[in-house]
A and B are shown apart, each in its own frame.
Chain A
Amino acid sequence: MSVASGTRWHPQPLIADARVRWALIIGATLYLILALASIDVNWRRVAEGIPRAIRFIGAFLPPDFTSRWGDIWAGLAESLTMTLTSTVVGILISIPIGVGAARNVAPVWVYLLCRSIIAISRSFQEVIIAILFVALFGFGPLAGFLTLSFATIGFLSKLLAEDIEDIDPASAEAVRATGASWLQWMNYGIQPQVMPRLIGLSLYRLDINFRESAVIGIVGAGGIGATLNTAIDRYEFDSAAAILLIVIIIVMFAEYSSSWIRQKVQ
């Protein structure tokens, strides 16, 4: 970066090869043009929507908690109970799968089996699983509970397995050297090392499960999402605003309290 007199310094370009750089720029521009051309916006419909948008924003001051309170309360109770039960059940199932998916404690065939369970659970979105479970178990929060439990397995087992793979092998080996059985080795050599993070992850998942419970109601799996869907379909924006505010407040509360507990534990 020598600067001769009279020339200006330029920062180094991000991509050194000029041909690659231009190919990327032209490719990105071309894609952008094609992509923008593919969305057709019905401006008349958008214009029609503007008063509705204003009405929606206006609905927040003040939101209407009272006229649909019965429905909101029922949806909320379903969401909250679904969140707790599915997180607990999900964790109970994820612990053996997570242990099995850690390469340093499990034999190869168990490892492969558990990793494929995790891959299946992770690759489908909650909403898609909910569609299938609603078809199998009927409408209502039980389908939602099963969906969230299933989704929790993929998330928690994967992170738990990675955590077990990262442990300090010395202290685990020290326990093993005392002649501990496999269960004792797990309980005294490995569990204390991963427990703080497992608690942190469980709380985080509790938070995610609540958020998701607000969504899967749209496909019939119970919870506050169903109430919200109905409110929006009826254009009852003031009730919808109330539900959204409740969701935001609960999520905020869950986020702050879980980060507080995580700080205490870790």
Chain B
Amino acid sequence: MTIERIGDHILWKRQPPAVVAARFAGWLVLVAATLWCFEIMTRDTIWSFVLDAPRQGADLVGRMVPPRWGYIQELWWPMWETLNIATLGTMIAIVMALPVAFCAARNTTPSVLFVRPIALFIIVSSRSINSLIWALLLVSILGPGSFAGIIAIGLRSIGFLAKLIYEAIEEIDASQVEAITATGASGAQTLVYGIWPQILPAFAGVCVFRWDINIRESTVLGLVGAGGIGLNLQASLNVLAWPQVTLIFIVILATVVLSEWVSARVRHAFI
């Protein structure tokens, strides 16, 4: 906080001039970098296509409405498959994430020096690769179909679940664990009666949260051939059947809203 005198005026300023100048320079650098990046990014852009966008948009809307409602008959089975991809994928991820989480948490890991870095590396690599990329890889390895989708969702979710669960484990109350250990409980018993009840609410919340995200992600996995409603989306896009695309978007939107509602209800019940 500084005060500046201009003649007999006293002007209050929030920051000293040096800080103001440094911030201004920082903003200037950011703006310059953004403009420069924009320049590089649009080097190969064909602007006539971009300027054409309003007309294209009007044309697209004209093609997309009305949606082809009759197509819904062919979407029930893909929707069921999508739901299964998300649910089974989440289950696989839960089973695999629990040991990783216990190895990554500082207070339960068998070895801070050796096991913890490996667990953290598993978490980071699983988290940095999107499920669509996992699916791309797995389709080329396992062949197209929902099986690749389930594994892709599973692999992507391990990192997310393990990260949030291990943070919950690190926040537990040590005195309760100590109380269980003091009764002469074995390691497994301490885990079940001392640690598990403390992380259960967080665990349930995280799992349901991830399931909700996975429903969203499994709707587009079919774009790379990994099953679910995305396959119909890809097929409809390929033949430019826009009325079908609209219906698929509506179905996806409804599913996403529904799954968000379910997950909010379940989380509310647990916490």
Q: List 17 A-B contacts (CB under 8 A).
A: A11-B193, A31-B87, A35-B88, A38-B146, A40-B145, A40-B147, A41-B145, A45-B142, A49-B140, A140-B46, A142-B41, A145-B41, A248-B128, A251-B124, A252-B124, A252-B128, A255-B124
Query: Please, what's the 1-or-0 string for A121-146, where 1 marks a CB less than 8 Å from any CB in chain B?
Result: 00111011001100111101110010
A127 touches B53 (CB 8 A): no
Is A21 interfacial (CB 8 A cutoff)? Answer: no
Query: Please, what's the 1-or-0 string for B233-271, where 1 marks a CB less than 8 Å from any CB in chain A?
Result: 000010000000000010011001100000000000000
B140 touches A232 (CB 8 A): yes
Please pick, from A52, A145, A219, the residue contacting B223 in the complex, using a CB distance under 8 A. Answer: A219
Residues of A within 8 A of B174 (CB): none
Shortest CB distance A195–B (Å): 11
Residues of A within 8 A of B80 (CB): 38
| CB contact under 8 A between A80 and B37, given known A39-B147, A41-B147, A215-B130 | yes
The CA of A162 and the CA of B15, in the complex, are separated in Å by 27
Is A218 interfacial (CB 8 A cutoff)? Answer: yes
9-residue interface stretch from B67-75, B103-111, B164-172, B212-220: B212-220
The CA of A145 and the CA of B136, in the complex, are separated in Å by 22
Is A46 interfacial (CB 8 A cutoff)? Answer: yes
B40 touches A77 (CB 8 A): yes
Is B8 interfacial (CB 8 A cutoff)? Answer: no
Shortest CB distance A260–B (Å): 16
| CB contact under 8 A between A131 and B136, given known A39-B84, A137-B49 | no
| CB contact under 8 A between A128 and B84, given known A138-B46, A225-B133 | no
Is B112 interfacial (CB 8 A cutoff)? Answer: no
Residues of B within 8 A of A48 (CB): 143
A81 touches B41 (CB 8 A): yes
Is A95 interfacial (CB 8 A cutoff)? Answer: no
Question: What is the chain A residue whose CB lies nearest that of B38?
Answer: A85
A36 touches B220 (CB 8 A): no
Residues of B within 8 A of A77 (CB): 40
Residues of A within 8 A of B140 (CB): 49, 52, 232-233, 235
Is B11 interfacial (CB 8 A cutoff)? Answer: no
Nearest 6 CB-CB pairings of A with B: A45-B143, A138-B49, A251-B128, A81-B37, A81-B41, A35-B84
Query: Please, what's the 1-or-0 string for B119-142, where 1 marks a CB less than 8 Å from any CB in chain A?
Result: 000001101111011001100111
Shortest CB distance B270–A (Å): 10
Total interface residues on A, CB under 8 Å, equals 60
Q: A38-B81, A145-B41, A218-B223 known; 18 other A-B pairs, CB under 8 Å?
A: A45-B142, A45-B143, A56-B141, A84-B33, A84-B34, A85-B41, A88-B30, A123-B253, A141-B42, A142-B42, A188-B14, A215-B130, A218-B224, A219-B223, A225-B133, A228-B133, A228-B136, A232-B137
Query: Please, what's the 1-or-0 string for B193-226, where 1 marks a CB less than 8 Å from any CB in chain A?
Result: 1000000000000000000000011011001100
Question: What is the chain A residue whose CB lies nearest that of B146?
Answer: A39
The CA of A131 and the CA of B64, in the complex, are separated in Å by 14
Is B45 interfacial (CB 8 A cutoff)? Answer: yes
Is A102 interfacial (CB 8 A cutoff)? Answer: no
Is B57 interfacial (CB 8 A cutoff)? Answer: yes
Q: B40, B140, B150, B223: which has the most chain A beta carbons within 10 Å?
A: B140
Query: Please, what's the 1-or-0 string for A62-98, where 1 marks a CB less than 8 Å from any CB in chain B?
Result: 0000000000000001101110110011000000000
The CA of A232 and the CA of B217, in the complex, are separated in Å by 20
Residues of B within 8 A of A131 (CB): 237
Is A53 interfacial (CB 8 A cutoff)? Answer: yes
Is B50 interfacial (CB 8 A cutoff)? Answer: yes
The CA of A80 and the CA of B146, in the complex, are separated in Å by 32
Is A103 interfacial (CB 8 A cutoff)? Answer: no
Is B176 interfacial (CB 8 A cutoff)? Answer: no
| CB contact under 8 A between A81 and B38, given known A127-B220, A138-B50 | yes
| CB contact under 8 A between A39 and B128, given known A46-B143, A123-B253 | no
B141 touches A49 (CB 8 A): yes
